[in-house]
Amino acid sequence: MSPAPAARARPTAAFFDLDKTIIARSSAFAFSKEFQAGGLISRGTVLRSAYTQFLYVIGGADHDQMEKMRQFMSQLVTGWDVATVREIIADTLLNIIEPMVYSEAVRLIAEHHEAGRDVIIVSTSGAEMVEPIGQMLGADHVIATRLEVDEGKYTGTIRFYAYAENKAKAITDLARKRGYDLERSYAYSDSATDVPMLAAVGHAYAVNPDKELRKVARERGWPVLTFEKPVALRREVGMPPAKPTITAVGLSAALAVIGAAWWRTHRKNAA
């Protein structure tokens, strides 16, 4: 009697947060000047968004702040033409993002692919921006915030907000669909808001962690990685030269303004 065939191992994956994990700063904030160039915000708002980004980096945003930002985002994008947004992003994305990719992250993505794992980018930013970045990086799938569309325009309703516990749920749903063994899978993030995402896999890593995530990583024994070498993406993966000009702004630039608008409103209410 011949022996029974060995059970085939389930596939595994590596899940990467985007901002300050793969990209060296906020991908949304990177678009703020282009948002101004497109005539959608004023110079003052750009400056306020810079200040808000500074506050976010040094202190982080708590759940209530992120919820207020989410609500403002839904109001801001209402009526925007989807085809125009996608075209603008396609024309401008590489010029904005390509100098800011961590070399360490690009190499780690390649290593996971060489090991036979799928690579998934998980980001709170809009899918309209995250999907092209995922293609640039060779990701197999992206999990991102998705907005409702009706007759080619954004309605202002957020169909899925890829934040905190929602990221973890999306990961488990995708694992169920694709058969991933999460206990043998990997996840990387810089933010304490992604603790649920990191806890969903068997191999969690804190990358350039904020203060709270560093504390959690220490308590749970998660390794801490330091990424510190932003490089040109085209040099790392052999991409062709990008277009030399920037014409306007993409949808995810809205996220750069969310913080600015929240800060302005919060300051006014506090006065």
Catalytic positions are: 17, 19
Cβ neighbours of 232 (radius 10 Å): 15
Whether the Cβ atoms of residue 264 and residue 115 lie closer than 8 Å to each other: no
Euclidean distance between CA atoms 205 and 192, whole angstroms = 12
Q: In the structure encoding, which two tokens stand for residue 64, read together?
A: 């209530």
> What are residue 231's DSSP bridge partners?
101
CA 223 to chain centre: 21
Euclidean distance between CA atoms 8 and 121, whole angstroms = 26
Q: Which residues of 203-231 are buried (b: 16+ CB within 10 A; e: fewer)?
A: bbbbbbbbeebbebbeeeebeebebeebb
Place of tokens 């904020």: 210
Q: In the structure encoding, which two tokens stand for residue 123, read together?
A: 């980001």
